[in-house]
Chains A and B, each alone.
Chain A
């Protein structure tokens, strides 16, 4: 942890060397998501609601996903660009150092411009919370917090999977990007509008449903039964990162036995 803080400190120091372009990127990151938001807004203006959900309820979900995406993309940046590290051989450098590969890769890269997207999401979250008809309680607050933490973990896990794939092929980088960005754009809608197999996919395989749809239902008072389940469900989703870490280790084994 101490080492990670040092990494972060040094990366901040590097970033400060390019202050003006950094600010430009943050501003751009803040405004870019408005295009999609406008799209959703116009659809609601045309159609009124989606599957019984109002616009602000969808915005709530959208902002949470946006927040998780921006945090994960900021911190797990190293995995996002990992294919390049393999291509240029910088991964060998990481292997000749006596520290965990995950730590070194996380520490080596930060995508700080995502702050812009993060601020955008917070703003939207606040608006959605104020506009959506929700009776807030402490439990719901905690559930919301859990959603953000676990959602970030799941996005990071997807980046980790993408990085692991680079041990086999370095071509798939863009595809994985389509995937993570696609989730950011399409996973904001309640899962029950999708056919069964998509619901299953997003609940048990890449468990975004456990951090948006299921707890969202709870926050919107559409569920019955103990709130405890909904407190815990996001964590179950967050656990998704564990098999991904194991897969990562397996990938390293493969890399060291075949080379690149």
Chain B
């Protein structure tokens, strides 16, 4: 469906140093350095997959998406999307894909949503019949009926984002590129948007490439995660195995009878221990949380116990640090 092999992309950027003299100098002569935005990126995405594409700012996410959309030509490498080379057959290629930029609207600001939809219908040359069918289906799935006649500027961000996604589905694309679809949304709208994405993926068999900073999106939607940093793919695999691979620390909180002495089990570190409430961190690569619990409950009179894995954001931050990206 989507296949990228050995894609590289270089940019040339003007350098500039500080101070009056340097500024004057750069007015007459500018120095450039080339920056490798993508270094030998390869991956394949199969039909019907939802892939989460994550990485820190400037890692090359949007460059990759631009190449896949045909907006950018790579310096070297091959790419085929639905059997076409995106940048060589741009016009043909883009009529089979849908793109949502979370921070830039494709809807006309001052007029009702339905007008924007009908403009898109003409832009993508969707015939009347399938437009009607699609509109009906999408407004059912996304619950849009009541919004269609409202000017976009009066919609809330969550409502607008639903309309945005629906708008990019009007021409029945086989691939949907979502760039930060839940950015700025409140928790309820976030969950709603994720549900819609899942539904269109299931019901219309649409392949989804999701770039995001929100790990909640990835956790909720993507079976597969690609992590990019400094222009290279650092991880490509299932979300859960990424989590278990990097998440080597669990936290155990116990409440025990404070008159008893806490004996620290092996491969654990004591985070805090006060008034019969202790937090232990467990190195899960060496021992299982359950065996630690066993040891603790055999030596102490435990009132309450709970195990937490660390928040995913923390894990991701650690991965970024590990790769120095």
Whether the pair A256, B73 counts as a contact (CB closer than 8 A) is: yes
Stretch touching chain B among A3-11, A50-58, A59-67, A200-208: A3-11
Whether the pair A2, B109 counts as a contact (CB closer than 8 A) is: no
Residues of A within 8 A of B90 (CB): 95, 256
> Which A residues between 77 and 104 are near B, CB-CB below 8 angstroms?
88-90, 92-93, 95-99, 104
Whether the pair B70, A96 counts as a contact (CB closer than 8 A) is: yes
Q: How far is the CA of A224 from the CA of B176 in the complex (A)?
A: 65
Whether the pair B151, A17 counts as a contact (CB closer than 8 A) is: yes
Assuming the A-B contacts A93-B104, A96-B99, are A256 and B72 also in contact, with contact meaning beta carbons closer than 8 angstroms in the complex? yes
Q: How many A-B residue pairs have CB under 8 A?
A: 74
User: Is there a chain B Cβ closer than 8 Å to A14's Cβ?
Assistant: yes
Residues of B within 8 A of A17 (CB): 110-111, 151
Contact partner, A3, options B106, B109, B123, Cβ 8 Å:
B123
Assuming the A-B contacts A256-B87, A257-B73, are A96 and B97 also in contact, with contact meaning beta carbons closer than 8 angstroms in the complex? yes
Tell me the count of chain A residues lying within 8 A, CB to CB, of chain B.
24
User: Is there a chain A Cβ closer than 8 Å to B159's Cβ?
Assistant: no
Q: How far is the CB of A21 from chain B (nearest CB, A)?
A: 12
Whether the pair A13, B104 counts as a contact (CB closer than 8 A) is: no
What residue in chain B is nearest A2 (Cβ atoms)?
B122
User: Is there a chain A Cβ closer than 8 Å to B320's Cβ?
Assistant: no
Q: How far is the CB of B114 from chain A (nearest CB, A)?
A: 11
Whether the pair B124, A98 counts as a contact (CB closer than 8 A) is: yes
Q: How far is the CA of A98 from the CA of B12 in the complex (A)?
A: 29
User: Is there a chain B Cβ closer than 8 Å to A225's Cβ?
Assistant: no
Residues of B within 8 A of A104 (CB): 123
Whether the pair B71, A256 counts as a contact (CB closer than 8 A) is: yes
Residues of A within 8 A of B106 (CB): 93
User: Is there a chain B Cβ closer than 8 Å to A259's Cβ?
Assistant: yes
Q: How far is the CB of B275 from chain A (nearest CB, A)?
A: 55
User: Is there a chain B Cβ closer than 8 Å to A20's Cβ?
Assistant: no
Assuming the A-B contacts A10-B115, A95-B70, A98-B95, are A88 and B104 also in contact, with contact meaning beta carbons closer than 8 angstroms in the complex? yes
What residue in chain B is nearest A91 (Cβ atoms)?
B71
B1-22 Cβ-contact flags toward A at 8 Å (1 or 0): 0000000010110000000000
> Which B residues between 225 and 277 are near A, CB-CB below 8 angstroms?
none
Whether the pair B109, A14 counts as a contact (CB closer than 8 A) is: yes
What residue in chain A is nearest B37 (Cβ atoms)?
A259
Q: How far is the CB of B92 from chain A (nearest CB, A)?
A: 7
Contact partner, A92, options B9, B12, B71, B108, Cβ 8 Å:
B71
Assuming the A-B contacts A96-B71, A259-B63, A259-B72, are A3 and B97 also in contact, with contact meaning beta carbons closer than 8 angstroms in the complex? no
User: Is there a chain A Cβ closer than 8 Å to B101's Cβ?
Assistant: yes
What residue in chain A is nearest B98 (Cβ atoms)?
A96
> Which B residues between 69 and 115 are near A, CB-CB below 8 angstroms?
69-73, 87, 90-92, 94-95, 97, 99, 101, 104, 106, 108-111, 115
Residues of A within 8 A of B95 (CB): 98
Q: How far is the CA of A48 from the CA of B320 in the complex (A)?
A: 77
Residues of A within 8 A of B70 (CB): 95-96, 256
Whether the pair B69, A10 counts as a contact (CB closer than 8 A) is: no
Residues of B within 8 A of A258 (CB): 11-12
Q: How far is the CB of A183 from chain B (nearest CB, A)?
A: 28
Whether the pair A10, B123 counts as a contact (CB closer than 8 A) is: no
B49-67 Cβ-contact flags toward A at 8 Å (1 or 0): 0000000000000010010
Residues of A within 8 A of B317 (CB): none
A100-128 Cβ-contact flags toward B at 8 Å (1 or 0): 00001000000000000000000000000
User: Is there a chain A Cβ closer than 8 Å to B119's Cβ?
Assistant: yes
Q: How far is the CB of A90 from chain B (nearest CB, A)?
A: 6
Residues of B within 8 A of A259 (CB): 9, 11, 63, 66, 72
Q: How far is the CA of A14 from the CA of B119 in the complex (A)?
A: 13
Q: How far is the CA of A89 from the CA of B99 in the complex (A)?
A: 13
Q: How far is the CB of B109 from chain A (nearest CB, A)?
A: 7
Contact partner, B115, options A13, A89, A90, Cβ 8 Å:
A13
> Which A residues between 1 and 59 are near B, CB-CB below 8 angstroms?
2-3, 6-7, 10, 13-14, 17-18
Whether the pair B94, A98 counts as a contact (CB closer than 8 A) is: yes
What residue in chain A is nearest B9 (Cβ atoms)?
A259
Assuming the A-B contacts A90-B104, A258-B12, are A97 and B109 also in contact, with contact meaning beta carbons closer than 8 angstroms in the complex? no
Residues of A within 8 A of B72 (CB): 256-257, 259
Assuming the A-B contacts A10-B108, A14-B110, A256-B71, are A93 and B119 also in contact, with contact meaning beta carbons closer than 8 angstroms in the complex? no
Q: How far is the CA of A235 from the CA of B125 in the complex (A)?
A: 33
Q: How far is the CB of A76 from chain B (nearest CB, A)?
A: 19
Listed A/B pairs (27) with beta-carbon separation below 8 Å = A3-B123, A6-B118, A6-B119, A7-B119, A10-B108, A10-B111, A10-B119, A88-B104, A92-B66, A92-B69, A93-B101, A93-B104, A93-B106, A95-B69, A95-B71, A96-B99, A97-B123, A98-B92, A98-B95, A98-B123, A98-B125, A99-B123, A256-B71, A256-B72, A256-B73, A257-B72, A259-B11
- State the 4 A-B residue pairs at the shortest beta-carbon distance, nearest first: A98-B95, A14-B110, A95-B71, A257-B73
Q: With A13-B110, A256-B72 given, can you name 18 additional A-B contacts, CB distance below 8 Å? A: A3-B123, A6-B119, A10-B108, A10-B116, A14-B109, A90-B104, A92-B66, A95-B71, A95-B90, A96-B71, A96-B99, A97-B94, A97-B124, A98-B92, A98-B95, A99-B123, A259-B9, A259-B72
